[in-house]
Amino acid sequence: MTAVAHISFGLLPKVTLFGDRTPAKAGCFLRRRRSSSLVVLAMSTSSNSGVPIMVNSCSGNMGKAVIKAADSAGLQILPLSFGSAEESGHVIEVCGRSIEIHGPSTREAALASTYDEHPNMIVVDYTIPGAVNDNAETYCKVGVPFVIGTTGGDRDRLYKTVEDSKNYAVISPQMGKQVVAFLDAMETMAERSPGAFSGYKLQVMESHQAGKLDVSGTAKAVISCFQKLGVSFDMNDVQLIRDPNQQVEMVGVPEEYLSGHAFHMYHLTSPDETVSFEFQHNVCGRSIYAEGTVDAIIFLSKKVMLKAEKRIYNMIDVLREGNMR
């Protein structure tokens, strides 16, 4: 008889993946120098709930989700956002708010002017990989702290830009705090029990919206932990489910979430196939990332207010601080 340890975050009925043997559950898975007195005045508020935020790009799915979550949390949504040259000057409505889009030629001046008016503001960046470095350089040049969940770009250059400017930032390609907590647990297990799964076979399935063609950063991080635990695995062997029909019929993704979901399953089998373990997390929609982003905003605002020595943070720092919504 096979012993199965199943760690799953899902709400839908059991389905079968990787053949008949493997069960899986699916479910709704210009730093301009400012006087210290100005900064102290701006940060002396007793509550961070009304932190002014600028969301880039606000017309995207993640931008809209962040604005919705931030509005629910009582944050102040500022009426401007970065966009493409074609969008520049346009005004769009998001969650009942009119937001003006600024293209490359006007964004720095607009950001600087807004930062003068709201010196305790935080920028949120969910743009595109190709814009990561240029955007970060603009934030650091103006001196405005930022939270960036955008993946890609030159990450070494990104960190160096922030370090050199001594700006404050939360940088994390995964903002879902519960998923980050799972990753933290995996990393702790790998650190404390290296080789615990030596000889085990690993199978990895991930389902994302059709537009996501590569292996997710979360899956790569989890696989890296298993490798430290002694598992031999080639990243090219990840089973990517991107076909909508398979996602509904095989994985169990609700149709209304085909355009935005993240279902991951990691299945381990002992050499003699008498023991198996499953680790799984299923996310429908984008609210988990938006809510984590709001926590990151409030966290970063407090660090700026306290003039913390450390300047660059990630979601692990946010989690370990506690005091989340």
Q: What is the DSSP letter of 112?
A: H
Whole-Å CA distances, 134 to 81, 146, 229, 237, 281? 15, 13, 38, 34, 33
Radius of gyration of the chain, Cα coordinates, nearest whole angstrom:
21
Give the residues across from 76 on adjacent strands. Answer: 52
Residue 51 · residue 145 · CB < 8 Å = no
Q: Would you say how long the chain is, in residues?
A: 325
Alpha-helical segments (H) within the chain: 36-43, 61-72, 107-117, 132-142, 155-165, 177-192, 217-228, 244-246, 287-305, 315-321
Secondary structure, 3-state, 165-201:
HCCCEEECCCCCHHHHHHHHHHHHHHHHCCCCCCCCE
List residues with catalytic annotation.
Answer: 208, 212
Tokens of 122: 């935080």
Residue 316, phi then psi, degrees to nearest 5: -65, -40
How many other CB atoms are found less than 10 A from the CB of residue 67? Answer: 23
Residue 112 · residue 141 · CB < 8 Å = no
